[in-house]
Copies of this chain bind each other. A is one copy, B any other.
Amino acid sequence: MPNNLILTGFSGTGKSQVGLIIAQLWGWDFFDTDDEVTLAAGKSIADIFEQDGEAHFRHLERQAVASACNSSRAVVSTGGGSIVDPDNYRTMITSGVIICLEATPETITRRLQESSDQVSDLRPLLTGPDMIQRIRGLKTQRQAYYGLAKHTVHTDKLTLEEVAQEVYARWQEIAHGATNEGASEKLSPAFVVEAPSASYPVFVDWGLQDHIGKFLLGIGIRGPVYVITDSNVFGLHHGQVQRALEATGIEAHTFTVPAGEASKSLAMAESIFGWLAERRCERSHAIIALGGGMIGDLTGFVAATFLRGVPVIQVPTSLAAMVDASIGGKTAVNLSVGKNLVGAFYQPSMVLADLDTLKTLPARELASGWAEAIKHGLILDASLFRLIEERVESLLKLEPEITVEVIRRSMAIKAKVVEEDEKETTGKRILLNYGHTIGHGLEAATHYTELLHGEAVSVGIVGAGEMSQKMGLLSREELERHTKMLQRFGLPISYPGVNPHSVLKAMELDKKAASKVINWVLLQETGRATVRSDVDEELVQQTLNDLCR
C-alpha cells in the first residue's frame, strides 16, 4: 500500500501550509486539491459555486483527489469538505495515511479573518454574516468524517512548524507500524451511515467500551454526557463505561431505569426530561444509550425531543440491538394501547457496538439477536446467509473474527436500507419486516410475555417462507435451508398452543396494516425480498394454523 500523507480538516487549520512545509522537507510532491480544481476550471472556487453549482465543484474535486492520491511519495492537502464524499474517502484511505488538522471555530475564524486571501473567493460556504456560526455549523456536520483520520493534531496553540513536526512524527508511527496497530485499528469505523438527515460512524469490535471517551472526542463531543441505562446493564457494564469516560476527563451523569419493557413509557421519558433539565443539559452536550433495544428506543426518543434534539450515541449491549435497533434512528415509547406508537426518526451521532457485551447475554437472548442477523442475509445478501450457514458452530461459540465479520456485515445491510429509505417513504425499509408481520402477531397474541422478539420473528420467518414457497416464489429446498439454520441457532420454527385466530386478529390491528391491506414481505429467493399485497387470506390462515399446531 502506498504511504502518501493525506491531510484533511476544516478550512483554516493550516493544511496547505503544513503540507507544503513537509513536502519540501521530505523532497516529496505536494498537491493542494483546491488549487488543482481552480487550475482545472480556470476560475476561482467561488465562481465555480456561483456559476456551476456545488455539485459541479464536488465533481471536479473528486477528479483532483483521485489524481493527487494516485501518486507515490506525495503530500496531499485536501479541501475541507472532500472527505465527506465516500468515493474520496476510499481513494484517500487506500492511498496513504490520513491525518486531520483540527482547530476550534474561534481559532479558524481568527485565522481566516487574518488571512490575506479573499475568504469569499476560496471558501464560498463560509462567507456572509455570522461567519463563526457558519463555521460551527458546517464543522459539526463534518466532524464524523474528520474522525475517520488515523490521527488528529490540534493546531490551536502550535506554530506551523510545530504542527509539521507533530504530523511527521505521527505519520512515521502509523506508516511504519511503530504504534499499537491493534488499538488504532479499532478507532476506524466499520462503516459510515449516510442517511439523508445525518451521517454517522459505526464502530463494531471487541473491547471498545474501554475507549469510549476517545471515540466521543473523535467526533467532537467533550461532555458533559448523560448516560441512560437500565438496572441490569448498569451492573454489567456501567462501571467500565464510567471509568473510560473519566479517563478522558468527560463529565458523566447516569440515569438508571428499571429493566423491562414497562420503562419504555412517556411517564419514564418525562422523568428523564426533568432530570436532564435539572442538570441543565444543553444541545451541545450528548446523551448515551447504554443497553439493549428498550434503552435504545427510550433514550433515542428522549434525545430526539429534549430541547428539540440533543446528540445521542447508541452503545448497544445486546446482539438484537446491535444488528437492528441501534442503526437507523427509529426511536419510540409505548402507549397503553399499543407498542412504539409514539416516537421520532432521529439518527444517532455514533454507534459503538462492543462485542464483549455479548458474553454477558443469556443464550436465548443471543439466539434472538441472531434471528435478526439471519433475516438481513435472507432479504438482501445471499452470501452473508451462506457465510452464517457455514460458520454456525463458530458463531455459537462467539469466535472473535467470524463474529465481528458477520455482525458488521449484518449491520451494514441495515445501514444500506436506512440510507435508501430513512423515513419509510420509498418502500425499501419495509423489507426489514420480513418475518415481522406474523412475529408481531404472535407477540401481541401472547401479550409479549412468552416469546422474545427474535424468537417470534424466527417463527414469522418460517411462516413468510412457507407463504413464499406456496405462492411459487421460493423453492422448497431454500425454505428448508432457512428453517434448518434457525433451528441450529436454537430458535423456534413453530409455536404450538397459541390460538391462530388471535394471531390473525393482532396482525390486522398492527399499525403496519395501512387501510386493512397487509403488505407482505416475501422471498423470491435467498437474498431477494419482495412486497406483495395480493396474498390469499386462506393461505395466511392455513400458514398460521400450521405454525400454531
Which A residues are closer than 8 A to B by beta carbons? 53, 55-56, 59, 129-130, 132-134, 136-138, 140-141, 197, 266, 269-270, 273-274, 277-278, 282-284, 301, 304-309, 330-332, 335-338, 341-345, 421, 423-428, 430, 511, 514-515, 530-531
Supposing A335-B277, A344-B344 touch, asked if A137 and B425 sit within 8 A by C-beta, the answer is yes
Contact of A337 among B59, B133, B278 (CB under 8 A): B278
Considering only CB atoms, which chain B residue lies closest to A302 in the complex?
B342
Supposing A136-B427, A427-B136 touch, asked if A274 and B336 sit within 8 A by C-beta, the answer is yes
Q: Name the residue in A197, A277, A330 with the highest tally of chain B Cβ atoms < 10 Å from its Cβ.
A: A277
Q: Does A341 contact B306, Cβ atoms closer than 8 Å?
A: yes
CA distance A195 to B325 in the complex (A): 28
Q: Across the interface, which residues of B come within 8 angstroms of A56, CB to CB? A: 55-56
Q: Does B335 contact A270, Cβ atoms closer than 8 Å?
A: yes
Q: Across the interface, which residues of B come within 8 angstroms of A425, CB to CB? A: 136-137, 140-141
Contact of A342 among B53, B138, B305, B331 (CB under 8 A): B305
Supposing A53-B59, A337-B278 touch, asked if A330 and B308 sit within 8 A by C-beta, the answer is yes
Q: Does A137 contact B426, Cβ atoms closer than 8 Å?
A: yes
Contact of A274 among B284, B335, B428, B515 (CB under 8 A): B335
Of all A-B residue pairs in the complex, the 5 with the closest CB atoms, nearest first, are A133-B427, A55-B55, A137-B426, A137-B425, A130-B427
Q: Across the interface, which residues of B come within 8 angstroms of A270, CB to CB? A: 266, 335
Say how far A56's CB is from chain B's closest CB, in angstroms: 7
Supposing A56-B56, A277-B335 touch, asked if A344 and B305 sit within 8 A by C-beta, the answer is yes
Q: Across the interface, which residues of B come within 8 angstroms of A338, CB to CB? A: 277
Considering only CB atoms, which chain B residue lies closest to A269 in the complex?
B266
Q: A136-B425, A283-B424 known; 14 other A-B pairs, CB under 8 Å? A: A56-B56, A130-B427, A130-B530, A133-B428, A134-B426, A134-B427, A137-B425, A140-B425, A273-B335, A284-B515, A301-B305, A308-B345, A308-B423, A344-B344
Considering only CB atoms, which chain B residue lies closest to A305 in the complex?
B342
CA distance A138 to B425 in the complex (A): 8
CA distance A343 to B269 in the complex (A): 12
Q: Does B336 contact A305, Cβ atoms closer than 8 Å?
A: no
Q: Does A515 contact B282, Cβ atoms closer than 8 Å?
A: yes
Q: Across the interface, which residues of B come within 8 angstroms of A273, CB to CB? A: 266, 335, 341-342
Q: Across the interface, which residues of B come within 8 angstroms of A424, CB to CB? A: 283
Say how far A29's CB is from chain B's closest CB, in angstroms: 30
CA distance A160 to B309 in the complex (A): 50
Considering only CB atoms, which chain B residue lies closest to A530 in the complex?
B129
Contact of A266 among B141, B266, B427 (CB under 8 A): B266
CA distance A426 to B105 in the complex (A): 12
Considering only CB atoms, which chain B residue lies closest to A529 in the complex?
B129
CA distance A332 to B308 in the complex (A): 8
Supposing A335-B274, A337-B277 touch, asked if A305 and B307 sit within 8 A by C-beta, the answer is no
CA distance A421 to B140 in the complex (A): 14
Q: Across the interface, which residues of B come within 8 angstroms of A130, CB to CB? A: 426-428, 530-531
Listed A/B pairs (6) with beta-carbon separation below 8 Å: A133-B426, A134-B426, A136-B427, A273-B341, A274-B337, A306-B342
Considering only CB atoms, which chain B residue lies closest to A134 in the complex?
B426
Q: Across the interface, which residues of B come within 8 angstroms of A514, CB to CB? A: 282-284
Considering only CB atoms, which chain B residue lies closest to A421 in the complex?
B137
Q: Does B343 contact A308, Cβ atoms closer than 8 Å?
A: yes
CA distance A494 to B134 in the complex (A): 35
CA distance A323 to B252 in the complex (A): 41
Q: Across the interface, which residues of B come within 8 angstroms of A309, CB to CB? A: 344-345, 423
CA distance A53 to B88 in the complex (A): 16
Q: Across the interface, which residues of B come within 8 angstroms of A336, CB to CB? A: 274
Q: Does B55 contact A277, Cβ atoms closer than 8 Å?
A: no
Say how far A297's CB is from chain B's closest CB, in angstroms: 11
Say how far A319's CB is from chain B's closest CB, in angstroms: 24
Say how far A65's CB is from chain B's closest CB, in angstroms: 17
Q: Name the residue in A129, A137, A330, A342 with the highest tally of chain B Cβ atoms < 10 Å from its Cβ.
A: A342
